[in-house]
């Protein structure tokens, strides 16, 4: 079991306005802002992580909020719906809460013997609150308004909408170790037996539906969990052996990037064919404060595997305040 996929790790989506996104997920949904960093492919953009108290795998929904981005459209070729587990009997609470906060939602439906409440976030992202057939035992994050008896437990499932499910189904079963549990109409439920929660991927066959547009209100990617880096590299080889594209590994050492650490990162990156983002720091791990110092640092850096992020975008927040930790 140690080298198996351990269910969903996180899901990342795209938002527009950062403050609106923060207010909805921490205020209306009662999630915790676990971490705030930057998008390493676009260091001028925040990366928000929402989850439970400990930021446990299988609870983390993250966002890239790009101000002014166009509206996206859910469709084939993407993850279209995110399902959160909630306690039995809590859907009425959520319906009233959504009415109070003017959240768009639809009537309660049922799928695979489980009731769910479909709704959308302010950018139009499609989500579901689901009462699982088996009670979800994970400990939730509580707020004054969203207490434990109604709070989300973490992911229950994710829905992928596809014109043809066969190629993705083959990846789920042959590479990732999922199995087909059941089919209802054009929806195929795949499950991971290694974990009790965040273990379900549903594939919806929709051959006539147009492709989605990946922008605000859509999902950017989903991530699966493994035990450690050795297992991760095993799966990298499995993916590569199927002739599928795979991205380089990103390695970071936030807040401790002294010159010695950067040299060590570069050596590891060369060995693994990876790359690393760093903030330029001196021998005492103090960040360089002026552009001249950063330019001089950059000019003497001889590793193409290292990319510099500066200024330190994560040190403050224009709407949260520098001291806000998300609690």
Task: Out of 215, 241, 267, pick the residue that ends a domain.
Answer: 241
Domain identity same for 26 and 158: yes
Q: Is residue 189 part of a domain?
A: yes
Q: Is the pLDDT of residue 320 over 50?
A: no
Chain length of the chain: 327
Tell me the average pLDDT across 29-34. 95
| Structural domain count, the chain | 2
What's the pLDDT at 39? 67
Domain identity same for 230 and 260: no
Domain identity same for 143 and 280: no
In the chain, the N- to C-terminal Cα span, in Å, equals: 35
What's the pLDDT at 122? 98
Q: Is residue 2 part of a domain?
A: no
Domain identity same for 219 and 256: no
Domain identity same for 179 and 129: yes
Q: Is residue 322 part of a domain?
A: no
Ramachandran sector of residue 163 (left: φ over 0; alpha: ψ -120 to 50; beta: rest): alpha
Q: Is residue 225 part of a domain?
A: yes
Domain identity same for 117 and 191: yes
Domain identity same for 118 and 221: yes
Domain identity same for 69 and 209: yes
Task: Out of 241, 263, 281, pick the residue that ends a domain.
Answer: 241
Q: Which of 19-28, 63-72, 144-153, 244-253 has the lowest mean pLDDT?
A: 244-253
Chain segment 220-243, per-residue pLDDT in tens: 999 999 998 788 889 989 998 999
- Residues facing 154 on adjacent strands: 85
The pLDDT mean for the chain works out to 88
Q: How far apart are CA 127 and CA 13, in angstroms?
A: 11
Higher pLDDT: 44 or 155? It is 155
Domain identity same for 278 and 184: no
Domain identity same for 180 and 232: yes
Q: How far apart are CA 188 and CA 192, in angstroms?
A: 14
Chain segment 16-29, per-residue pLDDT in tens: 999 999 999 999 99
Domain identity same for 144 and 19: yes
Q: How far apart are CA 276 and CA 271, in angstroms?
A: 13
What's the pLDDT at 314? 34
Domain identity same for 178 and 226: yes
Q: Is residue 320 part of a domain?
A: no
What's the pLDDT at 2? 65
Q: For residue 156, what is the domain's CATH number?
A: 3.10.180.10
Q: How far apart are CA 202 and CA 111, in angstroms?
A: 11
* Residue whose entry in the numeric block shows the structure tokens 């110092």: 293
Rg of the Cα atoms in the chain? 21
Q: Is residue 1 part of a domain?
A: no
Residue 153 phi, psi (nearest 5): -100, -20
Which residues, 6+ apart, have CB-to-CB distance to 7 below 8 Å?
Answer: 57, 58, 192, 194, 195, 197, 198, 199, 224, 225
Task: Out of 216, 241, 266, pick the residue that ends a domain.
Answer: 241
Convert 271-281 to b/e letters by CB count within 10 Å (16 or more is b). Answer: eeeebbbbbbb
Convert 75-113 to b/e letters by CB count within 10 Å (16 or more is b). Answer: bbebbbbbbbbbbeebbebbbebbeeeebebeeeeebbe
CB 18 within 8 A of CB 65: yes
- The gap from C-alpha 214 to its chain's centroid, in whole angstroms, comes to 15
Q: Is residue 323 part of a domain?
A: no
- What percent of the chain is modeled with pLDDT above 70? 91
Instruction: Supply the range of the domain harboring residue 138.
Output: 8-241
* Residue whose entry in the numeric block shows the structure tokens 């809460």: 97
Q: Is residue 286 part of a domain?
A: yes
- How far are the Cα atoms of 10, 46, 180, 199, 301 from residue 177, in angstroms, in the given order? 18, 33, 10, 11, 42
Q: How far apart are CA 270 and CA 166, in angstroms?
A: 36
Q: Which of 29, 69, 81 lies closest to 50 in space, CA to CA?
A: 29
Dmax (CA) for the chain in angstroms is: 63
């Amino acid at each position: 079991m140690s080298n198996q996929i351990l269910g969903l790790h996180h899901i990342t989506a795209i938002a527009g306005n950062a403050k609106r996104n923060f207010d909805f997920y921490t205020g209306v949904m009662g999630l915790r802002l676990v971490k705030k960093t930057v998008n390493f492919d676009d260091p001028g953009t925040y990366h928000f992580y929402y989850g439970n108290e400990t930021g446990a795998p299988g609870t983390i929904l993250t966002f890239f909020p790009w101000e002014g981005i166009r509206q996206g459209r859910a469709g084939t070729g993407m993850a279209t719906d995110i399902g959160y587990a909630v306690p039995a009997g809590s859907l009425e609470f959520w319906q009233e809460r959504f009415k109070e906060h003017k959240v768009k939602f639809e009537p309660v439906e049922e799928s695979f013997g489980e009731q769910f409440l479909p709704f959308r976030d302010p950018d139009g992202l499609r989500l579901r609150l689901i009462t699982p057939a088996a009670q979800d035992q994970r400990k939730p994050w509580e707020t004054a308004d969203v207490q434990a008896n109604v709070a989300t437990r973490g992911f229950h499932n994710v829905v992928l909408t596809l014109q043809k499910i066969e190629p993705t189904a083959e990846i789920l079963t042959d590479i990732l170790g999922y199995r087909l549990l059941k089919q209802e109409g054009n929806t195929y439920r795949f499950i991971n037996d290694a974990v009790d929660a965040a273990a379900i991927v549903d594939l919806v066959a929709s051959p006539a539906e147009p492709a989605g547009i990946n922008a605000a209100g859509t999902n950017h990617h989903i991530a699966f969990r493994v035990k450690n880096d050795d297992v991760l590299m095993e799966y990298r080889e499995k993916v590569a052996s199927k002739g599928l594209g795979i991205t380089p590994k990103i390695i970071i050492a936030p807040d401790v990037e002294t010159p010695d650490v950067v040299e060590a990162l570069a050596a590891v990156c060369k060995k693994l064919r990876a790359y690393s983002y760093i903030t330029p720091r001196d021998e005492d791990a103090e960040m360089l404060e002026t552009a001249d110092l950063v330019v001089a640092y950059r000019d003497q850096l001889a590793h193409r595997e290292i990319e510099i992020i500066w200024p330190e975008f994560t040190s403050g927040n224009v709407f949260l305040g520098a001291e806000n930790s998300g609690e």
